Amino acid sequence: MFGKFGKAKQVALVVAAATAAVFGASTQASAVVTYTNSGSCTGATLCVYEHNNFQGYTSVQVGDHPFVYTGYMDNRASSIVNQSSQIYCFYDGANYDGAHLQVGFGKLYPDLGSIGFADKISSYCPGKC
Ligand SMILES: [Ca+2]
């Protein structure tokens, strides 16, 4: 009775699973972010620090990619080094939304609290806000 349609449904499910696999693979690109306590940003594109003046736990990105914090660094950033040739937009929201801060290329922000943006960052993306 529903042989033909049942098959079509199965194919649709397989396509959905394959699409999920592709998106899963692209998510792996966010492995370009690593974490350190060394304070060093040498060779990196973008470093985001837990404390003022580039101290404390640090997320270190190589290459220009969007990123969403899901762990310890979510809502903890207090200083930023942007060594990229890209402008970056940092967001309070986890989905590149909410209050935002634009950081020009080659810029250092030693005290995000002085501009009202301490302990807020949950995501960022290369490009203007
Ligand atoms: Ca936030």
Per-residue pLDDT of the chain (129 residues; tens, 9 = 90+): 555 555 555 544 444 444 444 444 444 444 689 999 988 999 999 999 999 999 999 999 999 999 999 999 999 999 999 999 999 999 999 999 999 999 999 999 999 999 999 999 999 999 999
- Give a yes or no: residue 51 inside a domain: yes
**Residue 89 alpha carbon to ligand 1 centre in Å:** 13
- Give a yes or no: residue 89 inside a domain: yes
Tell me how many degrees the CA angle 45-46-48 measures, rounded to the nearest 5.
160
| CA atoms within 13 A of residue 27's CA, in its CB half-sphere | 8
- Give a yes or no: residue 120 inside a domain: yes
- Give a yes or no: residue 53 inside a domain: yes
- Give a yes or no: residue 13 inside a domain: no
**Residue 84 alpha carbon to ligand 1 centre in Å:** 23
pLDDT at 52 (0 to 100): 97
CA 123, 103, 41, 44 dihedral sign is positive
- Give a yes or no: residue 7 inside a domain: no
pLDDT at 32 (0 to 100): 86
Domain total of the chain = 1
**Residue 122 alpha carbon to ligand 1 centre in Å:** 4
> 100 is in which domain, residue-wise?
32-126
pLDDT at 7 (0 to 100): 54
- Give a yes or no: residue 22 inside a domain: no
Task: Please say whether the beta carbons of 64 and 70 come within 8 A.
Answer: no
- Give a yes or no: residue 16 inside a domain: no
**Residue 35 alpha carbon to ligand 1 centre in Å:** 19
Q: Which long-range contacts (CB under 8 A, 24 or more apart) does 25-32 make?
A: 29/65, 30/65, 30/67, 30/68, 32/61, 32/62, 32/63, 32/65
Question: Residue 118's domain is classified under what CATH number?
Answer: 2.60.20.10
**Residue 44 alpha carbon to ligand 1 centre in Å:** 23
**Residue 93 alpha carbon to ligand 1 centre in Å:** 5
Torsion angle of alpha carbons 87, 102, 71, 35, nearest 10°?
40
**Residue 34 alpha carbon to ligand 1 centre in Å:** 20
**Residue 49 alpha carbon to ligand 1 centre in Å:** 15
